[in-house]
Amino acid sequence: MTSFVEIPAGSDFPLENLPYGVFTPAGSDQPRPGTAIGEWVVDLRALQEAGLLETDVFDGPTLNAFMAAGRPVWKAVRSQLQSLLSDDNSTLRDNEALRAGAFHHQAHVRMVMPVDIGDYTDFYSSREHATNVGTMFRDPDNALLPNWLHLPVGYHGRASSVVVSGTDVHRPMGQTKPAEGPPVFGPCRLLDFELELGFFTGPGNDLGSPIPIEEATDHIFGFVLVNDWSARDIQKWEYVPLGPFLAKNFATSISPWIVTLDALEPFRCASPSQEPTPLPYLQGSGDRSYDIGLEVGIQPEGADTDDVVCRSNFKYMYWNISQQLAHHSVTGCNIRPGDLLASGTISGPDKGSYGSMLELSWRGQNSIPLSDGSERKFIQDGDTVVMRGAAEKDGLRIGFGECRGKVLPSLG
């Protein structure tokens, strides 16, 4: 597909992508829904007001109304946008006044939170990650807990502290337990990232009515990169018996652009083989995973670039997104438009693909060298963690942009 918009080679945002986000133009504080193509943001409200989009879902400051509209509307808007932006359609191409008002260079806008997130759930769906953690903290011969191969394990996160890429994160304060003596209170010493993908939900379900696995993707709007910041020393002391709490609630960073399932359709692939066979409500036909390359970089304060410390892939996930949503709703839990469900740490089979510093440093036993001569076992104040993702095949690249966050000292 070709567009009249110039798209640089290797861009994350070709005409085949068209991810959705919310931005504020230069000189304005009014959020507006948009889509990305090449180096530009296209104002969807401006196109709607000009009568070029047959919908009214872009009036608000978030994408929730668009998400709630459902797959027929998503497909129609995507088709209309691809037609309007194609090189053989003169409607936008030759309307200089409309283009001047609707097109904004990405360098001149501020991306803001695209969704009013009602609920946030984080899963624990990478077998490699769960095995690594179980090996470190429990029994190498029985690393996985008894339930892990039977259901997608998850916990309810804190929606209020989900922040958009570029938002600084303060090192959290909390209780930790030294090897000897009583617990103490102070700044987290073992701050970590977790490389994840998350998906936003569209139309929900009524309370008491589960979402069948074969219908799950009709309720999934699209993906974002997720950095589930984690305070490992706080987590170690608090997580028994009820799991993550303060070690996770201080911040979760997401990328600003939501990449749709339609854009990622060429990259669908089979999930890893599951043994034992899941219960019937978790059995779905067809390929339900996605081949999406992911990487994490650490940029020390004052450095010009980041050093990539992890390269992984979403296709490694043992439990896929349809299984996660079907399991989440099987009790009749009502999912709502704009809920965020994250994958859990995405680790692969080799050391370079481990999706957290906990694994990369193997519980702090090993140091990760950076190009400025420093080393890391965990994240230091002043470090910026940068996550990137893209699916690539046959010359087509569907990217996510970046998810970045800088760590500031504790406020305590």
What percent of the chain is helix, strand and coil (3-state, nearest 5)?
Answer: 25, 30, 45
Render the burial of 219-238: b for 16+ CB within 10 Å, e for the rest.
bbbbbbbbbbbbbbbbbebb
The b/e string for 68-90 (b: 16+ C-beta within 10 A; e otherwise) is bbebebbeebbeebbebbbeeee
Q: Is residue 231 within a helix (H) or strand (E), and if so which, with residue range?
A: strand 230-231
Contacts of residue 193, Cβ cutoff 8 Å, sequence gap at least 6: 227, 228, 229, 230, 296, 356, 357, 379, 385, 387
Which of 104, 129, 219, 327 is flagged as catalytic? 129
Buried b vs exposed e over 47-66: b needs ≥16 C-beta within 10 Å? bbbbebbebebbeebbbbbb
308 contact partners, CB below 8 Å, separation of at least 6: 295, 296, 297
Using DSSP's 3-state secondary structure scheme, residue 197 falls into: strand
User: Active site includes 105?
Assistant: no
Backbone angles phi, psi at 270, to 5 degrees: -70, 145
On whether the CB atoms of residues 411 and 266 are closer than 8 A, the answer is no
Alpha carbon separation from 105 to 6, 35, 37, 38 (Å, rounded): 12, 12, 10, 9
Q: Do the beta carbons of residue 97 and residue 296 sit within 8 Å? A: no
User: What are the beta bridge partners of residue 254?
Assistant: 164, 226
Cα 338 from Cα 198, distance rounded (Å): 12
Residues annotated as catalytic (active site), given as ranges: 129
